[in-house]
Amino acid sequence: MIKNILNLGDAALYCDFGSDVNQEINSNVIKYFYHIKKLNLKGITNLTPSYNKLIISYDLNIHSFLSLKKKIENIEIKENNKLEKNLIEIPVCCDNNFALDIKRVENKLKLKSEIILEKFFSKNYFCYMTGFVAGMPFLGDLEKDMRLKRLETPRVKVPKGSVGITEQFCNIYTFETPGGWNILGNTPQNIFDTSNQSNPNLVNPGDTIKFYRITLDQYNEIKR
């Protein structure tokens, strides 16, 4: 399933699963990720799964590129290995104060805001990966008529909890950070919990997300 293994610098393997972004390729990445994680190999310092790549960082005192590459190439994963999937429901409030880019999205997609939100909430989304900042899930796929580019000029600060879309993906800003996604709403739910060290992420790669719409009153109730 790994097409090719290159080096990324002198202390990481760059495992290439293909160039397309789809759930089949991504599920293979995630299977490898969980499998290697479970092996608990000495000297592996990080595993970073993404849409179609898996980066394996290692301690140069323990591994060299060639020796670790061989080890990874020899790993056999059964194609029919089932991925463990959780369905997670996440409340989102689309009050005007939170839907920062709804006007822009209306203009770009040439759809009314109610239609946009109806389409957005009618679908389940697959978690391809988490990261960039702690716990941020990259979810997909949006319907073709819901896809647009990111903001021309990214925001310096996107509020924590913002739910945004770009191209075929949506995400949740787990921290206040700079960002350029089109923001449709905000969730009062904590997506990343620093105090839960064994499982800080609410959403993990392979999970399915169902967003449901709440009112501002419900939002404030949950926040309280």
Partner 1 sequence: MKSKDRNYFKILRAGINTTYQDLGRNNLYHIGIPFSGAMDKRNFQLLNSLLQNDYNSPVIEFAYQGPHLKYFGKDIFFCISGNASFKIITKEDVIDGNSYQCYLLKNGDEVDIHSTNKSVYGYFSINGTFGVDYYWGSCSINTQAQIGPNNGNKFSKDLEIEIIDINNSFNKRKLDYLGNTIENIRVIKGTNYDYFSESSQNKFFKESFKITKLSDRMGMRLEGPKIENIVDPNIKSEGLVKGVIQITSAGDPIIMLSDHGTIGGYPKIATVISADYDRVVQLTPGSNIKFKDVSLEDAETLYKLYQMETNNIISQIK
Judge if the upstream peptide bond of residue 141 is cis by omega within 30 degrees of 0: yes
Choice from 5, 14, 23, 123 touching partner 1 (CB under 8 A): 14
Please state the closest distance from residue 26 (CB atom) to partner 1, in A: 10
User: Which class for 107: exposed (0-12), middle (13-18), buried (19 or more C-beta within 10 A)?
Assistant: exposed
Q: Report d(CA 216, CA 133) in Å as an integer.
A: 27
The answer to whether 102 contacts partner 1 (rule: CB under 8 A) is no
DSSP state of 12: E
Question: Which helix or strand (DSSP H or E) is residue 118 part of?
Answer: helix 113-121
Does the footprint of partner 1 cover residue 60 (CB under 8 A)?
Answer: yes
Q: Which is nearer to partner 1, 27 or 93 (CB)?
A: 27
Sequence length of the chain is 224
Q: Which is nearer to partner 1, 46 or 81 (CB)?
A: 46
Closest CA to 144 of 165, 130, 164, 129: 165
Give least dist CB 58 to partner 1, A. Answer: 10
Among 53, 127, 162, 173, binds partner 1 (CB under 8 A): 53
Cβ proximity of 55 and 67 under 8 Å: no
Beta carbon of residue 204, minimum distance to partner 1 (angstroms, whole number): 8
Q: Which residues of this protein are in contact with partner 1, per CB under 8 A?
A: 6-12, 14, 19, 21, 33, 37, 44-55, 57, 60-61, 64-65, 129-136, 138, 174-175, 177, 192, 194, 197, 200-201, 204-205
